[in-house]
Structure 1
Amino acid sequence: MSNTGAPVRFTESAKANLLPLVHDGKMPEPFIRVGMKGGTCGGTYVLGFDSKTEFDEEYLIDEIPLLIDRRQLLFVLGTEIDFEARANGFYLHKPSTL
């Protein structure tokens, strides 16, 4: 499956840690949500489980059901979601376009 045009990208490590939850039905909510918290200039990324609201855009990226609030879409566009075992969790990174 090609993800050309997908708003965010999952690394292989992130997929390896999320897909078992998706396939085993062990997600506490039906979607993974990515967004911003605390404002867009000085804000931080958020990643968690959630249900869909009226403001959400729904995506299926590499079999992972994802939600992004359409008001935050421009701020998370191009974000890479990774899992780092030694850091004990997920982190989000927006690669520089320079």
Structure 2
Amino acid sequence: MLDQPVRITAEAHYQIQNTLNHQKIPAEYGLRVGVRGGGCGASWLLGFDTPGPTDEVYNVEGVRVIIDRKHLLYVLGAQIGFEAGEEGRGFTVEKA
């Protein structure tokens, strides 16, 4: 089993914990990381969810991360970040 299939920047970690606490999201929820679509049109899927039967759950620097087994190869090595700028603010995903 992989220890940490994704990385989370310090700012993203702060924002995730802040959201979990302020929105009073229950402890059984975690950050779902995956892909939507296929081929060149694939986009990243990030959100809070509970694990299902085809999911793997990881503890990445204190954040509960949920990844569907069929998405694991696509998200392996990704870095989740957070940016705030003139165009808005939000989470980013970069794949090495």
TM range (shorter): 0.7 to 0.9
Q: How many residues align?
A: 92
Aligned residue type for 1:32:
L
**Are the structure 2 counterparts of residues 40 and 33 from structure 1 closer, same or farther at C-alpha, using a change threshold of 3 Å?**
farther
Alignment partner, residue 42 of structure 1: 41
Alignment partner, residue 83 of structure 1: 82
Gaps of 5+ in 1: none
Instruction: Give the superposed CA RMSD.
Output: 2.1
Q: Give 4+ residue runs of structure 1 displaced > 6 Å after superposition.
A: none
Q: Give the number of the structure whose residues are more often helix, by fraction.
A: 2
Deviation at 1:47, TM superposition (A): 0.3
Question: Percentage identity across aligned positions?
Answer: 40
Alignment partner, residue 71 of structure 1: 70
Q: TM-score, normalised by structure 2?
A: 0.83
Query: 1:40, 1:75 within 8 Å by CA — same for their partners in 2?
Result: no
Q: Does 1:6 align with 2:4?
A: yes
